Chains A and B, each alone.
Chain A
Amino acid sequence: MARAEVFDHERGPWSRFAGAFQSRKTSRLAWRALLLCIGLTVFAPLLANDRPYFAKLRDTAGVRQALSLLSPIASSFVDSAKAAAASQPGSQATFEAEERALASRIDLLQGALDGKRSPAAIEALAALERSAKALGEASRAHDAARCETLGLELSKLASDARPTWESSSTSADGIVVRRSWPLFAALTSTDVTLIFLWLGLAGFPWWTRLVPARSIRSRLALLLVFALLAGLLSTLFPRGSTELDTSLWKARIAADAQSASVFPPIAFGPSETHLEDSMQAPRVASRHWCGTDALGRDLLARLLYAGRTSFAVAGLAAVLMVGIGSLLGLAAGALRGLTDTLVSRAIELLQSFPTLVLLLGLISLLPARAANSRWTIPLVIAAIGWTHIARLARAEAMRVHEMAFVRAATAAGFSRARVLRQHVLPNSMGPVWVAASFVLSGGLVLESSAAFLGFGIQHPAPSWGGLLADARGGDAWWLAVFPGLWLFAAILSIHLVGEGVRDALDPRTEAGLP
């Protein structure tokens, strides 16, 4: 009861509900388990990634490749400059593009090479830059003869750049050591928003006391705004990589003996394949704690990322189902007449089909690109699954609409819209909230079932159902056990949270009383 008192001073229906929910031990536990399940997937990029948190390394391979590409880029620049000098039609645009390409390449190399350690290479680059500038001016002045001589000089300088760099005794040291935070640079603003949202939800009882806000609802709104703001702010930080090399981080770190890096606990990306490690059983000693699949991908990393897909689809579907279902149900129950007839017949029609079969049939009608989208699959699930909520909302709205206080509100002269919005709606949402959690788990199961059969979100983005499909045939127990176990835990905790919500809203249980 001590916990309930924290919320009691607020006296709103939300805080009463929160207190009643928290007073049950099972509900508290289930809520924490659900938060953990969601949290692990929200933090997936920080827990499992093929990029290190922090890396200190020199881009040897990148510099080598850039230097060797310098000569071909320079020669095509020379060609286009000559063509532009001769005023050939259409040559001007090519010339300008080639000029920019060469200049940016030289810029990158000047940034990557250490001026103190390899002065010869820097000097060669500077000469190259001067020569390129001179050639550009000559070409703009349409001086074909000068272009010819300058072009020869530029080509020679470009082809000499790499030998110059390699002949200096400390060539490998001549590259600037860069400190970078590759993992954080790769976080998207959606990731940041989700992480802040989760932190806010998980730490709700703690931070909420520090904020002088009126009600739980306004605090939730505050949390949402704050998380969205954090996501927005994160776009201001430099995104992507400014490095020359775009190959895998691990290969780059392995190539540089003097690099230093800190990897996440699971140092594998969800699609990182190691064919030599395929179908390994889980061992604590090995780095694959949950084993690997047929392509040698780390199962635990895939599981973490799969949860994002599954929860995203199920969550969006649940929101849509509750929205559509409660609106249509309320309209049918309160307005009656034609609306009621239409909605009720639609409910009966949809409920006469087996859900999974209808879902699969509808997905098969979608064009291939839409069928693989995180936005259309929830829509399809919601279009089938709203009926359950709608039935509950309709029955409750019908009951509430006949009650004395609604009639009193109508008699007091309130408009129809106001009566519906402020009197009928808030008082008939109880059963809908209880059903909402079961709708979430239903969405999770539907999405996983479809993914298990190979429909819905496709590879390489994994989902729990899709991962389980790999286990068919029963040859690798870890492929069967772990994805299912996680899905099971998620469903179970959602069910228990749902039961907690039901008991907290039930006026018959003592906890529900103010």
Chain B
Amino acid sequence: MQSTGPGSAASLERFRHEHLLDQPLWKQYLDYLGPFDLSERGHPWFGGSGERAWGGLLTGDLGGEMLQPGVRVGAQIAKRLRITLPLMLVSLLLGYLIAIPLGVFSATRRGQRSDRAITLATFLLYAMPVFWAGVLLQTLFGRRGLEWLPVLWPAGAGVAASDILLAAILPVLCASYAVAAYVSRQTRASMIEVLESDWIRALRARGIPERQIVWRHALRNAAAPLCVHLGQVIPVLVGGSVLIETIFDIPGMGTYLHRGLIQREYDVVTGIVLVSALFASVGLLLSDLLHAALDPRIRHGAR
């Protein structure tokens, strides 16, 4: 090994020392957690020079990339979330918008041919791995296929908004079909349960139009369990975004995680795992709040 310059034993040692890689694990963890920076330039209480006294998770700092010293992980994630978050939200909305009418339609025609076709289709789609769907879409629309849509995200700065919208179609489709399949199966099941109940029969006996029964009375009661599923859909969506972004080369949080994993940028990986857990928790909280809003029995703590 060389004695000086990049890659030498001395610079390797310095690199390890700067990133606390030569320190015991608990110290690295405390440094990551904060609020004191434990490195050489860290807080004077812990033998540092005091240049960067505070840092770590408790100060809202997710750390930095090792290979690119100036880059902060938190800022990068925030930048990339501006792509990932809209894609995820649109996929979620689209999934629910397709799924609920489909599930209701299927439930009202229970046992008929159209119901059986929809049930089979959603069963198949639900079992379809998301990365296979992505690769298939890419093959179908790619340069050896129909060539209708861009299959990779436009690279570089100053890309027109229309290009981005076009490039987003396939990823959104890919992320939403699984949501749609899952939610429509749940909608169908919970609608069937509601439609069989006595009070629906009572409404029918009173001569209320079927359309009004289904869409106003039954759906509102069937919707409450669906909110619970929202909490399960969001983590799946976050996990799926890693796959989808890697397939379509979208510069979002998923590809950042992928790069972090390959380059062993531990701060990147930890940061994204934390942020995605935060999303999942927010999703759970949201589903609980929605559930309470829709179902007065939950709100008032009925026993």
Q: Are A357 and B142 in contact (CB under 8 A)?
A: no
Residue ID in chain A nearest B136 by CB atoms? A480
Q: Are A484 and B136 in contact (CB under 8 A)?
A: yes
B225 to chain A, nearest CB (A): 17
Q: Are A352 and B139 in contact (CB under 8 A)?
A: no
Q: Are B269 and A352 in contact (CB under 8 A)?
A: no
Name the one of A472, A475, A491 contacting B143, with C-beta atoms under 8 angstroms: A475
Q: Are B269 and A364 in contact (CB under 8 A)?
A: yes
Q: Are A487 and B129 in contact (CB under 8 A)?
A: yes
With A472-B247, A473-B142 known as contacts, the answer to whether A488 contacts B129 (CB < 8 A) is yes
Distance in angstroms between the alpha carbons of A448 and B264 in the assembled complex: 21
B64 to chain A, nearest CB (A): 17
Distance in angstroms between the alpha carbons of A443 and B277 in the assembled complex: 20
Q: Are A355 and B239 in contact (CB under 8 A)?
A: yes
Distance in angstroms between the alpha carbons of A20 and B146 in the assembled complex: 48
Distance in angstroms between the alpha carbons of A465 and B132 in the assembled complex: 9
Q: Are B277 and A353 in contact (CB under 8 A)?
A: yes
Name the one of B132, B239, B270 contacting A354, with C-beta atoms under 8 angstroms: B239
Name the one of A354, A364, A448 contacting B129, with C-beta atoms under 8 angstroms: A448
Does residue A452 face the partner (Cβ distance < 8 Å to B)?
yes
Residue ID in chain B nearest A349 by CB atoms? B277
Does residue B214 face the partner (Cβ distance < 8 Å to A)?
no
Distance in angstroms between the alpha carbons of A355 and B266 in the assembled complex: 18
Name the one of B132, B239, B246, B284 contacting A357, with C-beta atoms under 8 angstroms: B239
Distance in angstroms between the alpha carbons of A481 and B142 in the assembled complex: 14
Does residue B281 face the partner (Cβ distance < 8 Å to A)?
yes
Does residue A454 face the partner (Cβ distance < 8 Å to B)?
yes
Distance in angstroms between the alpha carbons of A84 and B280 in the assembled complex: 75
Name the one of A353, A455, A484, A487 contacting B276, with C-beta atoms under 8 angstroms: A353
Residues in B with CB closer than 8 Å to A484 are: 129, 132, 135-136
Identify the interface centre among A472, A477, A492: most chain B CB within 10 Å of its CB. Answer: A472
Distance in angstroms between the alpha carbons of A452 and B138 in the assembled complex: 15
Does residue B243 face the partner (Cβ distance < 8 Å to A)?
yes
Q: Are B127 and A354 in contact (CB under 8 A)?
A: no
Does residue B101 face the partner (Cβ distance < 8 Å to A)?
no
User: Using a CB-CB cutoff of 8 Å, which residues 103-136 of chain B contact chain A?
Assistant: 123-124, 127-132, 135-136
Q: Are A360 and B257 in contact (CB under 8 A)?
A: yes
Residues in A with CB closer than 8 Å to B284 are: 352
Name the one of A363, A480, A492 contacting B135, with C-beta atoms under 8 angstroms: A480
Does residue B219 face the partner (Cβ distance < 8 Å to A)?
no
Q: Are B280 and A448 in contact (CB under 8 A)?
A: no
Does residue B83 face the partner (Cβ distance < 8 Å to A)?
no
Residues in A with CB closer than 8 Å to B240 are: 356
Residues in A with CB closer than 8 Å to B242 are: 356-357, 360, 453
> B125-159 vs A: 1/0 string, CB under 8 Å?
00111111001101111111100000110000000
A499 to chain B, nearest CB (A): 9
A282 to chain B, nearest CB (A): 14
Residue ID in chain A nearest B238 by CB atoms? A354
Q: Are B127 and A448 in contact (CB under 8 A)?
A: no
Residue ID in chain A nearest B132 by CB atoms? A484
Does residue B273 face the partner (Cβ distance < 8 Å to A)?
yes
Does residue B258 face the partner (Cβ distance < 8 Å to A)?
yes
With A453-B242, A474-B135, A474-B144 known as contacts, the answer to whether A357 contacts B129 (CB < 8 A) is no
With A354-B235, A356-B239, A361-B273 known as contacts, the answer to whether A491 contacts B261 (CB < 8 A) is no
Q: Are B132 and A488 in contact (CB under 8 A)?
A: yes
Does residue A300 face the partner (Cβ distance < 8 Å to B)?
no
Q: Are A445 and B129 in contact (CB under 8 A)?
A: yes
Residues in A with CB closer than 8 Å to B260 are: 364
Residues in A with CB closer than 8 Å to B239 are: 354-357, 449
> B60-82 vs A: 1/0 string, CB under 8 Å?
00000000000000000000000
Residues in B with CB closer than 8 Å to A468 are: 131-132, 135
> A454-477 vs B: 1/0 string, CB under 8 Å?
110000000001001001111111
Q: Are B276 and A357 in contact (CB under 8 A)?
A: yes
> A434-445 vs B: 1/0 string, CB under 8 Å?
000000010001
Residue ID in chain A nearest B145 by CB atoms? A474
Does residue B262 face the partner (Cβ distance < 8 Å to A)?
yes
Residues in A with CB closer than 8 Å to B102 are: none
Residue ID in chain A nearest B273 by CB atoms? A361
Residues in B with CB closer than 8 Å to A441 are: 127
Q: Are B280 and A354 in contact (CB under 8 A)?
A: yes
Distance in angstroms between the alpha carbons of A109 and B141 in the assembled complex: 61
> B196-221 vs A: 1/0 string, CB under 8 Å?
00000000000000000000000000
Q: Are B243 and A449 in contact (CB under 8 A)?
A: yes
Distance in angstroms between the alpha carbons of A453 and B257 in the assembled complex: 11
Residue ID in chain B nearest A477 by CB atoms? B139
Name the one of A353, A354, A453 contacting B258, with C-beta atoms under 8 angstroms: A453
Q: Are B246 and A453 in contact (CB under 8 A)?
A: yes
Q: Are B269 and A361 in contact (CB under 8 A)?
A: yes
Residues in B with CB closer than 8 Å to A288 are: none
Does residue A358 face the partner (Cβ distance < 8 Å to B)?
yes
Does residue A401 face the partner (Cβ distance < 8 Å to B)?
no
Residue ID in chain A nearest B253 by CB atoms? A357
B141 to chain A, nearest CB (A): 8
Does residue B272 face the partner (Cβ distance < 8 Å to A)?
yes
Residue ID in chain A nearest B134 by CB atoms? A472
Residues in B with CB closer than 8 Å to A473 are: 138, 142, 151-152
Does residue B21 face the partner (Cβ distance < 8 Å to A)?
no
Distance in angstroms between the alpha carbons of A468 and B136 in the assembled complex: 10
With A356-B243, A453-B246 known as contacts, the answer to whether A465 contacts B236 (CB < 8 A) is no
Does residue A308 face the partner (Cβ distance < 8 Å to B)?
no
Does residue A302 face the partner (Cβ distance < 8 Å to B)?
no
User: Using a CB-CB cutoff of 8 Å, which residues 467-514 of chain A contact chain B?
Assistant: 468, 471-477, 480-481, 483-484, 487-488, 491-492, 495
Given contacts A354-B239, A361-B273, 11 further A-B pairs with CB under 8 A are A352-B280, A354-B236, A356-B243, A357-B238, A357-B257, A357-B276, A361-B269, A364-B261, A452-B131, A452-B243, A472-B135
| 5 A-B pairs in the complex with CB atoms less than 8 angstroms apart | A355-B239, A357-B272, A468-B135, A480-B132, A495-B127
